[in-house]
Structure 1
């Protein structure tokens, strides 16, 4: 199996950023372009996982995939696509964690759209796809435990989106013992609750 270089990781992340967004008509119209981009990746887990999801899209009516997207990402908290939620939940500490994401975007010369949270996996993948591979990879690696939990939750739901998240994970260095331990701890404990007297930081504050 060939390990993707930075250019190939950028391509994989750009494709993932589109696939992890709401499956509207525009996304379905771009499927041939996305499939061509994925076909140019080296054979391995990243390409295989993305091709699997693209095949599912091609065989699934848009309305059905859209309904699944809403039922999965919008209605199931354990399938939350916002990476800092897993470690910080709806607490003020999450606000500080989000600042790291915002600083990474500014460092790379990008500004977020109004009302857009920077820790949505699709947004982080887009950051990489636009050329800031180092910054995006750092953010993903720092939140690896959350990513692992998201994949596990999607697999438990038999969601085809598990393939896209698995493809993203496959572009990162192998998880170390501490990251695996953190994932197990988060899985056992769940996101923390807000401390008494503090206002929660709403996880679904912004749209896609």
Structure 2
């Protein structure tokens, strides 16, 4: 194989592994149920094909989910993502909380999905991390751009989950490992967000109806 062909093959492999990382992270971040549980062995097998850091991170989440029974997994999920503001799976929540500005940001996410030809079939809002990860797997330029624009929230979610010892931190670790290293400005934004938290003003978010912080079913 010629050098140019090797470089092309390496890029294609890296792109495929990145897309797989996003799909597997989205899968383990779903609300625990019978359908997800049935897929977990396949998720674990697929994770073994990823680079070491991502593989270990995803596998850790899978193993913990499989160690719980269905009731325990659901209860842990609700306690983690529905009851703690810093654990929101909705990326725009970190920047705007439940304020009117968030409604505008949600429209931007929805427009990005439409522009990429991506259809949301889960019924979630367009800024839900699972939706954004599926978008990034299919249309990386669009999905990754959205994550980078909300990098501070993504990093705060990762750090908060790690601090609380949540198994779902592995999904965020795997995702963030695919993104560029944090710049100085990004680090400052994460520090500010960690100190201040999401805005608390609550106003209407029409035309979107949503839970404030979680993904409770």
What is the TM-score when the length of structure 1 is the normalising length? 0.89
Q: Secondary structure at 2:91's aligned position in 1?
A: coil
Q: How far apart are 1:62 and its partner, in Å?
A: 2.2
String of CA shifts for 1:27-47, please: whole Å, max 9, x gaps: 11011211121111122x211
In structure 2, C-alpha distance between the alignment counterparts of 1:113 and 1:13, rounded to whole Å: 17
Runs of 4+ in structure 1 deviating by more than 4 angstroms, as ranges, are 205-208
Find the counterpart in structure 1 of residue 35 from structure 2.
26
Quick one: distance in 2 between partners of 1:114 and 1:20? 13
Query: Where does residue 168 of structure 2 map in the other structure?
Result: 161
Matched, 1:40 2:59: no
- Partners of 2:122 and 2:162 in 1: how far apart? 32
Determine which of 132, 142, 151 is the counterpart of 2:149. Answer: 142
- Residue 17 of structure 1 aligns with which residue? 26
Is residue 38–residue 50 contact of structure 1 (8 Å, CA) maintained in 2? Answer: yes
The alignment status of 1:183 with 2:187, answered yes or no, reads: no
Find 2:135's aligned residue among 127, 141, 160: 127
CA deviation profile, 1:85-137 (whole Å, cap 9, x unmatched): 111111111111112211211111012248521111111111123x1122111
Q: Is the 8 A contact 1:151 1:166 kept in 2?
A: yes
- Structure 2 unaligned runs (5+)? 1-9
Tell me which structure has the larger Cα radius of gyration.
Answer: 2
Compute the TM-score of the two structures, normalised by the length of structure 2.
0.85
- Whole-Å Cα distance in 2 between the matches of residues 114 and 187 of structure 1? 30
Query: Which consecutive residues of structure 1, in runs of 5 or more, have no partner in the other structure?
Result: none
For the 8 Å contact 2:78–2:216, the answer to whether it is kept is no
Q: Is the 8 A contact 1:73 1:80 kept in 2?
A: yes
**Counterpart contact for 2:85–2:198, Cα < 8 Å:** no
Using the TM superposition, give the Cα deviation of residue 60 of structure 1 relative to its aligned residue in structure 2, in angstroms.
2.1
